[in-house]
């Protein structure tokens, strides 16, 4: 399940794409454990179905019926726990645990939501919450980081995708206390929390002391990498992501002119609302399928198509991905890749290709349950597979050498060289953009490689100036 201390602040709902409301009262479909309803709908009367879509329950085979022995066994276990467990547990707690266990046994994304859980889902879609800023996935009774959210306590502390949370406030996390431990990730702004984490492929424990913050996450950042080449960063997919992207990219184009190309950075993007993913994809497509969903319920079978109006007017694009690119972010990656609108570059994505629907039970309780798989335009399911990038990059960091021989790359590097009498005073012959490229390479290797490829793609565009 996707957890969120944010909501996502350590919060997180890790991956819920919100689909549009299903055609049944009160149902709301989502993609990442993050999408939420903005208003609570009335209870749902679910249609009876079996494994064949649309088949009535009466057609179910008798082998699928719950026997009296099954009911007796459940009752016996319930009574044994109630009477013999080392500590007294009230009936309400036991019943909630039974429901929670039933849903968690289905897959990592289905769960029972109480009032606090519903509030957290609402927080996730708006980007407003108090927490640490990480997306967390429950795996084998533990908590694993899917991705830190930009400019939050988690990202500033150096938490990375794939990190495991070992302890919270000194208490070891295990399958019996994982839900309670997760709840401790949330708290009042300014309150302290101690985490013990371990990086992926490492056995060294790292202790972190963090302060929770009020986090208002702007999911979109837009700037120029250099004249004519835009950098579009989307950290997650929220209610306002599409509008925010259109406004900020429009402002950049108005200020700097039409762009020759753009890098769309979806690294460590844990997902969000399906509607936002569709909107962002549509911003760069004039035609074609964006995504389809298929499930047992008829209303889970949907197709989303692009409309004319490419914001970049066909300028080449690179989509940067990594292992933290999940859910809604994978929908955008797949849509642009399969429609041959962009090259994907980086690492294979997370592989969360299923959709959750929030079904309200009453005003304060709901079930978030997986109801569909989604498919890229080519009809590919990325569930547990991810999207393989067109251009693979290792997760490298380029560091400047602190010592070593001075490299001579031109005549100007030689001692006592004769100056060019026509050179402008104070002009740096290396100040042709290569210095900036070198700085970018050491600060973000993948982005620098994407920019280089993008420049090559731009030269092949009709009307490009070739020298």
Q: Residues 219-272: pLDDT tens digits?
A: 999 999 999 999 999 998 999 999 999 999 999 999 999 999 999 999 999 998
pLDDT value at 408 more than 70: no
pLDDT value at 396 more than 80: no
The better pLDDT of the pair 152, 294 is held by 294
The CA-based diameter of the chain, rounded to the nearest angstrom, is 99
CA nearest to 15, candidates 329, 350, 271: 271
Residue 315 token pair:
């300028």
The domain segmentation of the chain, as residue ranges, is 2-44+71-214, 220-352+376-392
Q: Which residues are catalytic?
A: 327, 338, 352
pLDDT value at 36 more than 50: no
Segment holding 244, helix H or strand E: helix 241-256
Distance CA 36, CA 123 (A): 8
352 sits in the region (left: phi over 0; alpha: psi -120 to 50; else beta) called: beta
**What pLDDT, on the 0 to 100 scale, is given for residue 124?**
75
pLDDT band of residue 215 (cuts 50, 70, 90) is confident
Mean pLDDT in residue range 207-221: 88
pLDDT value at 165 more than 80: yes
CA nearest to 375, candidates 323, 331, 325: 331
Average pLDDT of the chain, as a whole number: 81
Q: Are 136 and 144 in contact (CB under 8 A)?
A: yes
**What pLDDT, on the 0 to 100 scale, is given for residue 357?**
84
The 8-class DSSP code of residue 99 comes to H
> From residue 331, how far is each of 24, 144, 277, 352 by CA, in Å?
25, 22, 7, 10
pLDDT value at 44 more than 60: no
pLDDT value at 170 more than 50: yes
Mean pLDDT in residue range 186-197: 92
The better pLDDT of the pair 204, 439 is held by 204
Locus of tokens 């049944």: 24
Say which CATH class 2-44+71-214 falls into: mainly beta
The region of weakest confidence among 46-55, 191-200, 274-283 is 46-55
pTM score, whole prediction: 0.69
pLDDT band of residue 43 (cuts 50, 70, 90) is very low
Mean pLDDT in residue range 73-81: 95
Q: Residues 412-436: pLDDT tens digits?
A: 555 555 666 555 544 444 444 455 6
The better pLDDT of the pair 100, 130 is held by 100
Query: In this structure, which CATH number among 3.40.50.300, 3.40.50.720, 3.90.226.10, 3.40.1080.20 belongs to the domain 220-352+376-392?
Result: 3.90.226.10
Nearby residues of 77 by Cβ (< 8 Å), 6 or more positions away: none
pLDDT value at 46 more than 70: no
């Amino acid at each position: 399940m996707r957890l969120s201390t944010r909501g996502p602040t350590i919060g997180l709902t890790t991956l819920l794409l919100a689909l549009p409301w299903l055609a049944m009262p009160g149902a709301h479909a989502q993609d990442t454990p993050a999408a939420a309803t903005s208003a609570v709908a009335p209870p749902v009367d679910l249609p009876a179905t079996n494994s064949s879509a649309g088949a009535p329950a009466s057609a179910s085979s008798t082998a699928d019926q719950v026997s009296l022995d099954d009911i007796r066994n459940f009752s016996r276990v319930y009574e044994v726990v109630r009477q013999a467990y080392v500590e007294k547990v009230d009936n309400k707690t036991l019943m909630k645990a039974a429901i929670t266990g039933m849903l968690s046994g289905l897959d990592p994304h289905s769960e029972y939501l109480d009032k606090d859980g519903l509030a957290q889902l609402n927080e996730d879609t708006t980007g407003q919450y108090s927490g640490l800023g990480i997306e967390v996935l429950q795996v084998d009774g533990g908590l694993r980081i899917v991705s830190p959210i930009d400019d939050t306590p988690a990202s500033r502390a150096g938490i990375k995708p794939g990190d495991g949370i070992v302890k919270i406030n000194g208490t070891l996390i295990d399958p019996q206390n994982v839900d309670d431990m997760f709840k401790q990730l949330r708290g009042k702004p300014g309150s302290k929390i101690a985490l013990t984490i371990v990086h992926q492929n490492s056995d060294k424990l790292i202790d972190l002391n963090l302060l929770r913050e009020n986090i208002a996450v702007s999911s979109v950042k837009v700037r120029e990498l250099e004249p004519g080449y835009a950098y579009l960063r989307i950290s997650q997919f929220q209610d306002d992501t599409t509008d925010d992207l259109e406004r900020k990219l429009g402002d950049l184009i108005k200020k700097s002119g039409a762009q020759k190309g753009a890098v769309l950075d979806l690294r460590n993007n844990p997902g969000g609302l399906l509607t936002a993913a569709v909107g962002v994809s549509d911003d760069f497509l004039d035609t074609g399928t964006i995504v389809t969903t298929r499930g047992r319920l008829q209303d889970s079978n949907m197709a989303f198509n692009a409309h004319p109006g490419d914001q970049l007017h066909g300028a080449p694009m690179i989509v940067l991905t990594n292992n933290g690119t999940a859910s809604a972010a994978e929908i955008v990656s797949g849509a642009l890749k399969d429609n041959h609108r962009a090259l994907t570059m980086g690492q294979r994505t997370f592989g969360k290709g299923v959709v959750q629907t929030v079904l309200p039970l009453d005003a304060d309780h709901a079930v978030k349950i997986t109801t569909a798989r989604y498919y890229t335009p080519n009809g590919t399911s990325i569930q547990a597979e991810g999207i393989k990038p067109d251009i693979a990059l290792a997760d490298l960091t380029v560091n400047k050498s602190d010592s070593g021989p001075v490299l001579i790359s031109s005549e100007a590097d030689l001692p006592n060289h004769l100056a060019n009498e026509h050179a402008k005073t104070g002009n740096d012959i290396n100040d042709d953009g290569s210095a900036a490229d070198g700085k970018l390479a050491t600060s973000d290797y993948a982005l620098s490689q994407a920019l280089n490829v993008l420049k090559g793609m731009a030269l092949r565009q009709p009307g490009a100036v070739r020298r």
